[in-house]
Every structure is written in structure tokens, then in C-alpha cells.
Structure 1
Amino acid sequence: MTMQVSKEKKNISTALYFSIVSSFLLITINIVRWHLIEIITVFLEPLVELSIGLVFLASLISGLVYCVRTIRNKKFAALMPITISIVTILIVCFVPFTDIMLARDFNSNLKDREKVVSIIKTGKLVPNISHNESLIALPKEYAHLSKGGGEVVVKIEGDTLKVFFYTFRGVLDNFSGFAYISDGTALYQGDFNGDFHQIKKKKEHWYWGGSK
């Protein structure tokens, strides 16, 4: 009898531990997704997400099986693992992690991005990438303001200066970032050679755009 009780407690602990760890990993990957892409590239990051997703799925199935097997004898304990997994799914589905991280990025780095724009206006920062006359490689102290290499895109159209800071720099036309438009007009389809499917005004002169 003692051995059976001990075995049941071990099963509870294992199912609960598996559920907590997999849920923690799934929420964490949603929080740090864009930082992880910056570190290990857009090609490897999806593999990490897939691996964590499979671990979470295994945990979900394990928790469901455990619940079915023990619900009659241990109602509360039987429901705990599967409940944690369900709550985690709801958090991942309904908490706008990307929007939260973008808002934090924009607000915390706005002053530094405005400094970069001011330096560009003075002419002290000019395109300096040999293969692309629209790119500026930012000085080291400002490189963190534009993901994917610390480069910004600059366009001058008449008296209007447009500067694009990457928040995500994928392959081909797949990118997103914050755009400064000096004359206060909007970020338009085709600006910075982007096919923007999403454009949001952040404040006067500043927009966020996501290109396919």
C-alpha cells in the first residue's frame, strides 16, 4: 500500500513538473522570439520553436492521459497538469507578446533613434555600404537600434527624409521596422521597397510597418 501511494505521488510530481517546464518554455519562446532570431538567425529559430512546441504537445497529451486515469480518485491533483497546459495555451493565444515587445522597443529606444535621425540630417551620417547607396551602417553605440546588422535604410524624396530602422530583417522582402517620415505624412505602400501588409502610426513622424 505504501509503495502504491509513493508511486502515485511520483506520477503526480512527474506530470506536474513536465507541464510546468513545457509551459514555461512555450511562454518564454513567445517573449524572446525576436531576440532569439537576432542571435541564431531566422533559419534556426523556427527549429527551436518547433522543438518546444513538440515538448509542450507531449506534455499536453501526458497531462490528459494522467487526468483520465486518476480523475476518479484524485480530482484536484488529476486536473492540475492539464489545467496548467490549457492556461498556457490561452496565454499564448490571447496575450499580444509581439505588440508588447514592439511597444517596449519603440518607447525605450525612441530618443536614441531620434538622435540618429538628427545626425543624418546634419550630414554626419551618410550611406556607407558600397553595394547599396541607401544603407547606413550605424556606429557601434547605435547599432542595437536596427536589427539584423545595425543598418538603416535612408530615402530622400525632395525635401522629405525617410529613415527605416529594422525590428526584423528576414530574407528578400520579408522585414519590419520603425520608419521616420520627416514631413509628417504616412508610411506608404512601396516605401523602402516594401510590400507593407501592416502599417501602424506610433506618434507624429513615426510608423511601424511589416512587409511581406
Structure 2
Amino acid sequence: MSTTLLLILDLAGIAVFASTGALVGVRKELDVFGVAVLAVMTGLGGGVLRDLLIGSVPPAALEDWRYLVVPFVTSLVVFAFHPTFGRRERGIMLLDAVGLALFCVTGAVTAEEAGLNVLSSSALGMLTGIGGGMMRDIASGRVPVVFRGELYATPAFAGALVASVVHHEGWSQWWYIVAFGTCLVWRILALKRGWSAPLPPGTAHV
């Protein structure tokens, strides 16, 4: 995957996730600074964790000014027009699914290019996708979505696995669309049909 394409996808994913973090901050009635912090945390958290784990320091988020500007500007837009965003809950969930799919692919490719094997790259791709959301939920006092039984991490791992194999085998860049689609379609179907991860026997989702 070319460096330019990877950057574009990364920034797109950051903007999408930052918008979900900012919306949570608005609903928690945080001030503009709190909303911005939550947005930046959501947009950059997964990527920073990935970079630290592969030894890429300082993380890209701290080396390239665009990685900080994108989530910050996104937070201001959501803060200013939050009624519009709030009325489009389904759209926000779809954007979150798109961000998850983008990040699992870019995270896996970045890990592959750092020399990790396919399985490790897949795990870090998944972490890139779910890390920021986990930080957002913990910081805002919510149970992270990955712990609520929803199929979230599993689609991310599946998409990351496909992306890792594509990169490892040197297939055409068009195959990354398959990786992206694997995560996105699985996540959307899980949302629409209420799919969830299995619980221990004798327990039930609430």
C-alpha cells in the first residue's frame, strides 16, 4: 500500500472516530475542551498504542501535525453542530463501523511493514480499530463496547487478518477493499440483526 494512500485512510479513520468521541463528550455535557480531548483520544488512541507496541516512537500522531489537527477540528465541528449529529444516530453508528474497518486495515498494514508476522499484525490491526473507542468509553464512564457483547472486535480482527495476508503475499492493492469490506459488512450486519458474542451458560444479555 502506498504511503499516500495509507495516510489518507488513516486521517479518514481518525476523523470518523473523533466525531464519535466528540458526540459522546457533548452528550456527557463536557465543555469544549473536554469534547476536544475525548475526540483526540478516540481518534488517535488505537494508532498510538499500535506504534508504541511496534517500537515506532515517537508515534506518527506526534510527528505529523495533521494527525492532531484532524481530530481537533472534527471535535469543534461536532461541538458546534451537535444537534445535527445527534439526530443522525444511525449515521454515527455507520461512521463508527467505517472507521473500524479503515483502522483495522491501516493498523494491520503498518504492523506488517514493521516486520511482524501475519497473526501479530492482525492482532495489532484489531487493536488499532478498537483502542480509541475503549479509551473513549472508559474516560466517559461507559462500559467499552467490546465488553458489552456486541460483535465489534471480531469483525475488526477478521478485516485485519485479510489485510495482513494481502500485504504479506504482495497482492494487488485492490484486495484491501476486500479486507475493508469484510470488517464493515460484518459489523453492519451485527448491528442490524442484533448479533452478539456468546455469553457463559446461564447468563443473558441485558
TM range (shorter): under 0.3
Q: Which protein is bigger by CA-based radius of gyration? A: 1
Whichever structure has more strand as a proportion of its residues is 1
Whichever structure has more helix as a proportion of its residues is 2
Higher relative contact order (CA 8 A, sep 6+): 2
- Give the TM-score taking structure 2 as reference length: 0.26
- Give the TM-score taking structure 1 as reference length: 0.26
